[in-house]
Amino acid sequence: MMIACLPGDGIGPEIMAQALRVLAALDLGIETAIADVGGTAYKKHGHPLPPETLDLARTSDAVLFGAVGDPDCDNLERHLRPEQAILGLRSALGLFANLRPATMFKGLEHMSALKPEVASAIDLLIVRELNGDVYFGEKAQRVLEDGRRQGFDFMSYAEDEVRRIAHVAFRAAQGRKGRLCSVDKANVLETSQLWRDVVIEVAAEYPDVELSHMYVDNAAMQLVRNPGQFDVIVTGNLFGDILSDQASMCVGSIGLLASAALGERQTGKGTFGLYEPIHGSAPDIAGQGKANPMAMILSLAMLLRHSLGLEEQAARVEKAVSRALADGITGADLGGSAGTSEVGDAVLERL
Ligand SMILES: NC(=O)c1ccc[n+]([C@@H]2O[C@H](COP(=O)([O-])OP(=O)(O)OC[C@H]3O[C@@H](n4cnc5c(N)ncnc54)[C@H](O)[C@@H]3O)[C@@H](O)[C@H]2O)c1
Ligand SMILES: CC(C)[C@H](C(=O)O)[C@@H](O)C(=O)O
Ligand SMILES: [Mg+2]
């Protein structure tokens, strides 16, 4: 078994180091290989996703990804920007299903942006489509006849793209509380009308799952008003991006939310995937040793579960994180004073 580790930019390498300490402590005999990605790769190799990095990811059993994004690169042509690396990996590796769980950890209710009694009910999974939508449609800027500049991004979903993510979401709901909420903007967008029609067609194959539909603006409000109503949410690429950052503050911090990006390729022990925190490279705190590494460590747990079939080890890592939180070990993002490596120490002690 080989894991490709792509630390990336900003806090990426800092949090990756803690996840790799946890992996080493598990002593599973798994090989790791590290490669450059993002702004770091651009500065060294002239491209945010060098061919060697993509090859390494392709030939691995799973990819552990830190974060990309570098303010020095914000004025580069779009195809050279660090963010293109993660979009390129998701697309080239066919990782269309993004699982973003948000669960309230015991003892952290007071850190939620919501009232503790509202926050304590949060146990939801956002299933975000990851290979389509306005992210991957044609985009450009042009000058109109009257001289005004115009920018456009083409939003689309084909029915097979909706169908395959709907199946992932229905199956996820079957393994949880059996409730699926499809979030769209069908009152305005044709893309969303097709999305809703196809989700309803797929629902016929899952009579044991209770399907509901919600407009995205209402969903954003309901996530704050009564997040306990949600079990599984399935939504498109853009809405899923936004709602998952919002869900993170409902459970206390963006430094807690892990994710799995899965496709169809099987590894023999599970499904090939890329695992990363939902947050970015956090340039505002990079290099200060205060980033929360828990989302990264929990992403490693998801990797062990989904790609390597190591459920027991995954649960062990998750339990160590929740015990550290229950014991009050938190960094600045959660009102505490522990630094990145102290949080790592605390998780290791509890493994
Ligand atoms: N998958 C990715 O690699 C990814 C995801 C999101 C954003 N980005 C990129 O990251 C860069 C910064 O973006 P942004 O500032 O909008 O979002 P961000 O998620 O990097 O940071 C938002 C805020 O959350 C804080 N934060 C994030 N992760 C944290 C952690 N682990 N511990 C403590 N605090 C944390 C940051 O300090 C910042 O105040 C941009 O270049 C963006 O494009 C990359
Ligand atoms: C960096 C960016 C391309 C990415 C996205 O929008 O998918 C990020 O925000 C995420 O949530 O993983
Ligand atoms: Mg995002």
What ranges do the domains of the chain cover?
A: 1-101+256-351, 113-250
CATH number, domain 1-101+256-351, options 3.40.190.150, 3.30.479.30, 3.40.50.1980, 3.40.718.10: 3.40.718.10
pLDDT category at 286 given cuts 50, 70, 90 is very high
pLDDT in tens, 128-143: 999 999 999 999 999 9
- 119 annotated binding-site participant: no
Which of 233, 274, 40, 26 has its CA nearest to residue 123? Answer: 233
Q: Which residue has the tokens 């990819």?
A: 63
Beta strand spans in 146-257 (E): 149-153, 179-184, 210-215, 232-235
Please tell me the number of the ligand nearest to residue 245's CA: 3
Is the confidence metric ipTM above 0.95 for this complex? yes
pLDDT category at 162 given cuts 50, 70, 90 is very high
Distance CA 296, CA 9 (A): 14
Which residues are part of the catalytic machinery?
Answer: 135, 185, 217, 241, 245
Task: Write the CA distances from 131 to 6, 220, 238, 251, 272, integer angstroms.
Answer: 20, 22, 11, 27, 15
Q: What is the pTM of this model?
A: 0.98
**Two structure tokens written together for 194:** 């097709």
Q: Is the CB–ligand 2 distance for residue 278 below 6 Å?
A: yes
Which of 86, 89, 238 to probe ligand 2 with, by most ligand atoms within 8 A of CB? 86
Which of 36, 281, 284, 290 to probe ligand 1 with, by most ligand atoms within 8 A of CB? 281
- Ligand 1 centre distance from Cα of residue 144 (Å): 35
- For atom 7 of ligand 2, which residue has the closest CA? 241
Strands 2-8 and 271-277: unpaired
Neighbours of 53 (CB within 10 A): 24
pLDDT category at 151 given cuts 50, 70, 90 is very high
CATH superfamily of 113-250: Isopropylmalate Dehydrogenase (3.40.718.10)
Structure confidence at residue 193 (pLDDT)? 98
- 281 annotated binding-site participant: yes
Please tell me the number of the ligand nearest to residue 10's CA: 1
> 65 forms bridges with which residues in the sheet?
6
Identical fold, 1-101+256-351 and 113-250: yes
